[in-house]
Structure 1
């Protein structure tokens, strides 16, 4: 029986809300690639999940908008030859995606005025650049 998925200290997704599908994987594996179902699709229905608080659910919907299909987030892992390793990779990837989506937004940046020194450096560089470009043109007097 798979265990619960720990996303953060306060957010734990019960194993009953996760669904796994297995299929044949392309890539490394030799002859076993045609017989072993090592590819893992791990799905989590965010829309109908009672374990995610509503305030977090809204934030996660905003951030995961393009990744969700009918409110379901699906992660695929097929980089390993063994199904067990792919299951662990998929669970880790899903936890990271949910953790990033649930993270608090960064504090708003307070705009500040540019310093006098930075303004002077900017103007000096603009003048230097203008002189460089002016020298590239035709001289004008070709007598």
Structure 2
């Protein structure tokens, strides 16, 4: 099985890739892959091949496991559905539903959850659903006002 290296792509579509075999690092321009495949196979000067997963995200995503609720604003529902927030960034989140739901791509939801920080900060925001994969939904915050507590939380 081929080894995989995950890298974050910075400004100017450049990233530093370190060979998992010899530890040699090269800075490379990967802009040509931005709208294409984000997983590429490369060969180091040590002759070893490995896979590179390119992350073009502007904001860091933090893996979490936070209890929360969502309400489907698009359908006019007043029912709050239990969810687990599984990753979080300054611009969006991904959550997993516990029960069957009528949530679809492009729906507007109201989401609320509590951070597992010392203050147990409550976050409540409107989100737009970008995608669905099985029982997980990727969403973006509709109003990106800087949340100081969320910013501190994501950096911790």
TM-score using structure 1 length: 0.27
* Structure (1/2) with the larger helix percentage: 1
**Relative contact order higher in (CA < 8 Å, ≥ 6 apart):** 1
TM-score using structure 2 length: 0.26
- In our comparison, the structure showing a higher alpha carbon Rg is 1
